Structure 1
Amino acid sequence: MKTLSTDQIQALHTFVKRHYVEYYDIELELVDHLANGIEAQWVEDSTISFEIALEREFKKFGIFGFSDVVDNKTSTLYNHYIKLIFQKIVEFLHWPKLILTGGIYYILYLAIEYLSLTFDIEDITSTFTWSTLIIAASYMIIESTQIKRENKRTSTKWLMDRVLLSIVAFPITGFYLFYVILKRLSSYSIASAALCCLFIGLWIYITYFVVLPQLKLEKEKRRKDILHA
């Protein structure tokens, strides 16, 4: 059976990069897909040139080319980890973590009740939410800096890094909406204010200390699997 030469494989890498695929893991997947498609064409007709076979395979991706592949994979991964965040939050509302959640809520209630003797409840919750924004922004800067250094060192970019930064930025992008909603709810009572702070606290904790470490482990596993394949 006619197979691709080393030079032709390299030409596929160049072709994929030229069509705006900047992530190495996606590049490898697309090169493998194109190579299999071209060789499948040669099984039927070995006289087809490499260039024509490549053009035929590329046309199968539609008018947007490889961009749909990248967008779909990014969206799938992003949605997976966003769902995971909320699944972990729900876990804190079920036994046995419900005991811990109840204890944290009670502590927040007592703290806000004490502070409300001096400050307005809305000001207390506003300070709390702005503090979480600072935490989120700090994580964003740290992770972004680390990823840029790694990309520069290895001269490669990975899709999981893009997803990781999107997850880190999630609390920031949704901050204003939550800020408005929670500020309004917190004006009703100390109980609702404590509930708001509890939710924001769980959201930040789970995003950065539960889901983010898991994402990093999966990213490294995927990277090692690809590099050692």
Structure 2
Amino acid sequence: MKLTETHIEELYKFTRKHYVYFYDVQTELVDHLANDIETIWEENPKLAFENARDKSFKKFGIFGFMDVIEAKQKQMNKQYGKILWRFFKEWFTLPKLVITVSIFLSLFFLLKTPYSKYIILAGLLVLTTINLIKQTKAKRKHKNKEQQKEKIFLLESMIGDTRQGFSGLAFINIFNCVNIIKIPFNSLENHWLFLISFSVTCVILLFHVTGFMIPQKAEELLEETYPEYKLSKTL
């Protein structure tokens, strides 16, 4: 006995009811449940679909799908880390290396000026404002997708969460560092200015990659990661 399209749809609803929010994780679980239910029916063909489904679900243990969700998140964290590194290392190869060096030198000579602290804080304020506008638009788009019950993938959610988390952490840390250091930057020796400039350059590049480059390439990355993504957009 084979599962019908109605049964498959019911399994998707079942996984959603048990706190599986992402379509790719749902699909993996539905595939597993469907195969197991058909095996159960081979042994007991008269068993009702709901009973066979519940019997299969019990095999996941007392925590239900939580172990599968955690394993999938760990797997996707590694995948996202590879994506992040792929985009970040491009800034240390030509022609983007020229921009990277320009940012570094600009910061290095900026720190030698008497008013570098205030310029950095002003720049930070501008970047924070731009980032908040971008995040607000992204949250509104994500909320609309949820309301319209569109399919949301785990990597898609991670791109948004990382964008918010990293940018917020970066801005707070830079702001705190600027205020904690009581000694004027222009009085520091060159090796300290070199280290500060290099660190801030890396933070700026990571902010740009997580906040702009990866979100702009989200559709392409999702199609690259999930073969079923393009198909899901048409369903």
Instruction: Confirm or deny a common fold (TM above 0.5).
Output: yes
- Partner amino acid, structure 1, of 2:84: I
CA distance 1:27–1:88, shift in 2 (3 Å): closer
Residue 143 (1) aligns with residue 138 (2)? yes
* Equivalent residues of 2:88, 2:205 under 8 A apart: yes
Q: What residue in structure 2 maps to residue 38 of structure 1?
A: 37
Give percent identity, aligned residues only: 24
Aligned to 2:58: 59
**Residue identity in the other structure for 1:156:** E
Q: Tell me the residue number matched to 1:207.
A: 210
Please list, as runs of the form range in 1=range in 2, the aligned pairs for 1:42-121 lying within 5 A after superposition: 42-94=41-93, 97-113=96-112, 116-117=113-114, 119=115, 121=116
TM value normalised by structure 1: 0.76
Report the residue type matching 2:213 in the other structure: V
- Let me know the Cα RMSD of the aligned residues: 3.2
Preserved contact between residue 125 and residue 183 of structure 1 (Cα < 8 Å): no
What is residue 155 of structure 1 aligned with on the other side? 149
CA distance 1:94–1:227, shift in 2 (3 Å): closer
How many angstroms apart in 1 are the aligned matches of 2:69 and 2:111?
Answer: 46
Match of residue 164 from structure 1: 159
Structure 1 residues 178 and 53: alpha-carbon distance in aligned structure 2, compared to 1, 3 A threshold: farther
Paired with 1:207 and 1:108, the residues of 2 have a C-alpha distance of: 21
Identify unmatched segments of 5+ residues in structure 1. Answer: none
Name stretches of at least 5 consecutive residues in structure 2 with no aligned partner.
none
For the 8 Å contact 1:108–1:194, the answer to whether it is kept is: yes
Note if 1:14 corresponds to 2:7. no
The whole-number CA distance in structure 1 between the counterparts of 2:49 and 2:11 is 10
Distance verdict in 2 for CA 1:156–1:68, change over 3 Å: farther
**Structure 1 pair 123/195, CA: closer, same or farther in 2 (3 Å)?**
farther
Distance change >3 Å, CA 88–CA 5, structure 1 → 2: closer
Instruction: Tell me how far apart the structure 1 counterparts of residues 87 and 6 of structure 2 sit (CA, whole Å).
Output: 48
Count of residue pairs brought into register by the alignment: 223
